[in-house]
């Protein structure tokens, strides 16, 4: 009798432990992942009350502004020139298919109307409007996906108790359970109230790696509310159970140029890499480190070739306008995408590994060799091409390109090619 009872307990325990640890994405979620990978190019937006100071989103921390002083910024935040329609049009013009925007950054200010903190744009600013709702509605209207950036780290809330030592998975001061509940409540609002929301982009985990973040509960809640929401977390570690995509900050997957990605092995999930258009995430009035159109296109192409999306960030100004330098650059990128998007959207990468001369994307029995650095020798080599190549053309004008297929790979002769200054695209048809 006792034995039987123990067995049942063990079975029940084993079952529930299993159910908790293994996340199985739904068919809708898997379809959302495919769609996510097809989109390839997104707009990242860092916008908050910090934008007023024109010194990036870390200004409160970097300048050691006390929370109570920083909070006054809310009184001055009144982005009269904000127009959701313009932002969505801006993204579309650039050839972007989704927007990821800061709903709440490390300063803890909610850029959306929330019942769970009065420190939000509707209640604490003279603006009294919810720009994220306006953006979500406009995104839905114009067929753009919306993802929300959400910070786990909070510099100001007493229940988070920033700076407090962590013991047994909790900060010694503060009220950790309350903080976790607060985040769940806000995430519920973001997922249930805002149309077009398809993803949550977490950040700030790295600030407390020894705390219990209850990610299983948070992820579980999100997927319960909407199983097709894509969850990603900028924790800079290997993918955790319950996540739907993996992100790389300021880095192409496989590189570790910033030192952020040492622990983040490339997993099996869809990939996304984010980068700034100048040097800052949030509006920085003194940052004129603008990337060129060529740098941006090369980043996008390099990401696609490595099977990753490219999420390019801008920091709009406190009045709600996007500075003209960004608009000018992205209009040119958009023109390039109009012409060449076929070789990017809906493709997959890593079919052939990145080469010294560039990368290869593929879809529908077609390979696109993106030559970013024309080799010195008069040919390109594509190793280990599976299938028979029947035709090779220059994507720009459809003219035939000489080639030779051997068991070890394909040689493409570049001597008669007119190289493009940004990206010479060669199309190979596989039978
Ligand atoms: C994080 C944020 O802190 C930053 O403000 C911005 O939102 C960016 C997209 O994400 O940046 C980080 C996060 C972690 C490290 C560095 C930058 N880190 O662990 O070194």
Q: For position 87, what pLDDT does the model report?
A: 98
Cα dihedral 278→344→430→378 (10° resolution)? -30
Residues 188 and 225: beta-carbon distance below 8 Å: yes
The answer to whether 412 and 379 are in contact (CB under 8 A) is yes
For the CA atoms of 170, 173, 177, 182, the dihedral, rounded to the nearest 10 degrees, stands at: -120
Q: Kindly give the number of the ligand 1 atom that is closest to the alpha carbon of 149.
A: 7
Place of tokens 């650059």: 329
DSSP letter at 360? E
- Nearest Cα neighbor of 90 from 316, 351, 279 is 316
User: Read out DSSP for 225-278?
Assistant: H-TT-EEEE--SSS--TT---EEEETS-TT--SSSS-TT----SS-EEEEEESS
CA of 368 relative to ligand 1 center, distance in Å: 33
The beta strands (E) that lie in 14-97 are given as 41-45
From CA 222, how far away is CA 128, in angstroms rounded? 27
pLDDT at residue 256, as a whole number: 59
Closest residue to atom 1 of ligand 1, CA basis? 203
Residues forming beta bridges with residue 272, ordered by sequence position: 247, 309
Q: 18 C-alpha vs ligand 1 centroid, how far in Å?
A: 33
Atom of ligand 1 nearest to the CA of 249: 9
The CA dihedral of 165, 169, 172, 178, to the nearest 10 degrees, is 130
Q: Print the SS3 string covering 361-399.
A: EEECCEEEEEECCCCCCCEEEEECCCCCEEEEEECCCCC
Measured over all CA atoms, what is the biggest interatomic distance in the chain, rounded to whole angstroms?
85
Q: Which atom of ligand 1 lies nearest, measured to the CA of 250?
A: 9
In angstroms, the CA 431 to CA 421 distance is 30
Q: Are 260 and 269 in contact (CB under 8 A)?
A: no
Give the angle subtended at the CA of 274 by the CAs of 243 and 352, to the nearest 5°: 80
| Distance (Å, whole) CA 6 – CA 399 | 74
- Give the binding-site residues of ligand 1, using a 6 Å CB cut-off: 46, 57-58, 203, 206, 234, 236, 249, 260, 274, 281
Ligand 1 probe mutation, 100, 151, 162, 260, most atoms within 8 A of CB: 260
- Beta carbons within 10 angstroms of residue 195's beta carbon: 12
Give the pLDDT confidence score for residue 18 in this predicted structure. Answer: 42
pTM above 0.75, yes or no: yes
Q: Which helix (H) or strand (E) holds 219?
A: helix 215-225
Token reading at 205: 């985990």
3-state secondary structure 167-210: ECCEECCCCHHHHHHHHHHHHHHHHHHCCCEEEEEEECHHHCCC
- Taking the C-alpha atoms of residue 409 and residue 179, their distance in angstroms, rounded to an integer, is 56
The residue whose CA has the least distance to atom 18 of ligand 1 is 260
Question: Residue 182 C-alpha to ligand 1 middle, in angstroms?
Answer: 22
Query: What is the residue-level pLDDT of the chain in tens, covering all 431 positions?
Result: 445 544 444 444 444 444 446 899 999 999 999 999 999 999 999 999 999 999 999 999 999 999 999 999 999 999 999 999 999 999 999 999 999 999 999 999 999 999 999 999 999 999 999 999 999 999 999 999 999 999 999 999 999 999 999 999 999 999 999 999 999 999 999 999 999 899 999 999 999 999 999 999 999 999 999 999 999 999 988 899 999 999 987 777 766 556 655 565 677 899 999 999 999 999 999 999 999 999 999 999 999 999 999 999 999 999 999 999 999 999 999 999 999 999 999 999 998 999 999 999 999 999 999 999 999 999 999 998 989 999 999 999 999 999 999 999 999 999 989 899 999 999 999 98
Distance, CA of 424 to CA of 125 (rounded, Å)? 50
- Centre of ligand 1 to C-alpha 14, Å, is 38
- For residue 247, the CA-to-ligand 1 centroid distance in Å is 12
193, β-bridge pairs: none
* Residue 343 dihedral angles phi and psi, to the nearest 5°: -90, 0
Q: Quick one: pLDDT at residue 431?
A: 87
């Amino acid at each position: 009798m006792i034995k039987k009872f123990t067995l049942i307990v063990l079975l029940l325990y084993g079952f529930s432990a299993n159910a908790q640890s293994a996340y199985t994405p739904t068919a809708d979620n898997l379809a959302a992942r495919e769609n996510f990978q097809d989109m390839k190019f997104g707009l990242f937006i860092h916008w908050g009350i910090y934008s007023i100071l024109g010194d990036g989103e870390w200004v409160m921390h970097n300048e050691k502004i006390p929370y109570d002083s920083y909070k006054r910024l809310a009184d001055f935040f009144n982005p009269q020139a904000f127009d959701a329609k313009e932002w969505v049009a801006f993204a579309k013009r650039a050839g972007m298919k989704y927007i990821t925007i800061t709903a709440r950054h490390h300063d803890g200010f909610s850029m959306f109307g929330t019942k769970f903190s009065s420190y939000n744009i509707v209640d604490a600013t003279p603006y009294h409007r919810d720009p994220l709702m306006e953006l979500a509605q406009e995104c839905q209207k114009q067929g753009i996906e919306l993802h929300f950036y959400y910070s786990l780290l909070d510099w100001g809330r007493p229940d988070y108790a920033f700076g407090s030592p962590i013991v047994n998975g909790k900060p010694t001061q503060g009220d950790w359970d309350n903080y976790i509940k607060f985040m769940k409540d806000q995430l519920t609002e973001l997922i249930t109230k805002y149309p077009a929301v398809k993803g949550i982009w977490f950040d700030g985990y790295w600030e407390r790696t020894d705390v219990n973040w209850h990610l299983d509960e948070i992820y579980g809640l999100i997927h319960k509310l909407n199983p097709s929401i894509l969850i990603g977390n900028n924790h800079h570690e290997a993918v955790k159970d319950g996540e739907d995509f993996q992100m790389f900050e300021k880095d192409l997957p496989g590189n570790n140029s910033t030192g952020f990605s040492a622990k983040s092995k490339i997993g099996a999930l869809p990939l996304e890499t984010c980068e700034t258009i100048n040097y800052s995430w949030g509006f920085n009035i003194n940052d004129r480190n603008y990337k060129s159109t060529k740098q941006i296109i090369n980043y996008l192409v390099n990401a696609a070739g490595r099977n990753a999306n490219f999420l390019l960030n801008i920091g709009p100004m406190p009045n709600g306008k996007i500075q003209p330098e960004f608009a000018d650059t992205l209009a040119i990128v958009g023109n390039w995408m109009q012409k060449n998007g076929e070789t990017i959207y809906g493709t997959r990468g890593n079919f052939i590994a990145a080469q010294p001369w560039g990368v290869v994307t593929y879809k529908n029995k077609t390979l696109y060799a993106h030559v970013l650095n024309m080799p010195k020798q008069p040919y390109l080599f594509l190793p280990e091409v599976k299938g028979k190549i029947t035709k090779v053309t220059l994507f720009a004008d459809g003219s035939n390109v000489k080639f030779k297929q051997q068991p070890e790979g394909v040689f493409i002769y570049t001597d008669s090619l007119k190289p493009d200054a940004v990206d010479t695209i060669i199309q190979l048809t596989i039978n």
